Structure 1
């Protein structure tokens, strides 16, 4: 049975709102966890300011294991954890838990990669002036890596947006649930294609806004 235009528009608007909510909150929370993890990986790496093979190897291994798990499988595996944290395993709030756990290691690796791009000469200059490791991270590494960090955040938010679409398979809501429940399940290809088109538009908006901010804040190109 085909759904009416009015119902379709309501479904799309609700789906967009839920998808944006999951994506923005999930990205914010993933960065709260990912930034310190990424800084720790950089600091303890072989090229870092305080190398430590044991710490780097331990955290690196955990991050690599989580990153290697397909997100759909992670969604299902974390259902007990999600239910414990938010009291339910369905809905947008429940989806944020696996989103953060799945995205934080990805963010951490991007943070590490961005910090590794900072010129060693700048770090050595700060060390010669007696700056502590914390001061080097806060006042040298993060500011110098800002353009790369912003580019990484654009990639991260579009990746998390893609993750959120998969949440529809486990009752997570958003556009993914709309495409699944009203497109795939009911064999309404038009609904599924429209939902995919809306997702593509959202991704493009995030991408363009992110790159615009990068261009405006990158002093190296001025």
Structure 2
């Protein structure tokens, strides 16, 4: 059971992290570009877009994950055909993690030296080139750290998905450890989650050190 639950947790983590990084990166870049004193900042449409996106992101981040899972159950069932199980847990995980990751991306991009951006603009680089070749490249260590933090956060979210029968280690700990008073199962699942978090953090730290040297 531990092996099966661990595989389910890794499955949920892998797919939810993939979609979170793709959607959150896009959202974070848009938030950065439309913020004040950036490439698109100052224009009316940019100010409106930033205000709307920032409000939505703040609202989504303020909703507890357990409540969010229940709220979007109809949407989850429409997307994947079920609102429970491993597949039913992935959409809520993505919805909860994308705003969190987008804010981390925005913060990482703000750390890029404005002089580099201005130099690229003076040399005639387009906005797309500046985003790809300057912003994302210069902030890659911060982005890797953001992915690591998000992955660790998603591990805790996958554990909470056991409340709606989401599968994985959290579901195992709830159904067998808590409801059946099996302390040994509870302890083993906690140890497995701690090991998973440690591995993710170590890999993320190693990648940050490597790209910092590069």
With normalisation by structure 2, the TM-score equals 0.96
| Paired position in structure 1 for 2:29 | 39
Between the two proteins, the alignment pairs up a number of residues equal to 210
Deviations 1:18-61 (A, max 9, x none): 00110111000011111110000000001321112211000000
| Paired position in structure 2 for 1:106 | 100
With normalisation by structure 1, the TM-score equals 0.93
Superposition CA RMSD, Å: 0.9
| Paired position in structure 1 for 2:142 | 148
2:169 aligned with 1:179:
no
| Paired position in structure 1 for 2:132 | 138
Deviations 1:147-184 (A, max 9, x none): 00001110010101110110111010000000001000
Unaligned 5+ runs, structure 1: 1-10
Contact 1:47-1:116 within 8 A present in 2 as well: no
| Paired position in structure 2 for 1:29 | 19
| CA–CA separation in structure 2 for the residues paired with 1:48 and 1:201 | 41
Unaligned 5+ runs, structure 2: none
| CA–CA separation in structure 2 for the residues paired with 1:218 and 1:93 | 36
2:106 aligned with 1:116:
no
Moved over 4 A (4+): none
